[in-house]
Amino acid sequence: MPSLTSLTGLAGAFAAFVLACSMVGRPDIPARIIAELRAKALQGTSASWGCPSVFNGKNACNSYDPKRYRR
């Protein structure tokens, strides 16, 4: 787990980057970087999770009852 000092340093570096971008006249760059990182992080999260239970025997995937699970 990262320490608080490294998170503080990262926040300070990002704040300096935001200020530098706004001084140059491009305050949209940090928002674009965050949006791109978010899109890459969430890519593929809609994939199937597979079998509902691996502990329910070999026929767990065949005996899946969707009424038992919320959507």
More confident residue, 65 or 27: 27
**Given this model, what pLDDT does residue 45 score?**
72
Could you tell me the pLDDT band of residue 60, with boundaries at 50, 70 and 90? low
Does residue 2 carry a pLDDT above 60? no
Q: What is the pLDDT of residues 3-53, one digit of tens each?
A: 667 888 889 999 999 999 999 999 999 999 999 999 988 886 776 666 655
- 71: exposed, middle or buried (Cβ count in 10 Å: 0-12, 13-18, 19+): exposed
Nearest to 53 by CA among 64, 69, 67: 64
Does residue 1 carry a pLDDT above 60? no
Nearest to 34 by CA among 17, 53, 55: 17
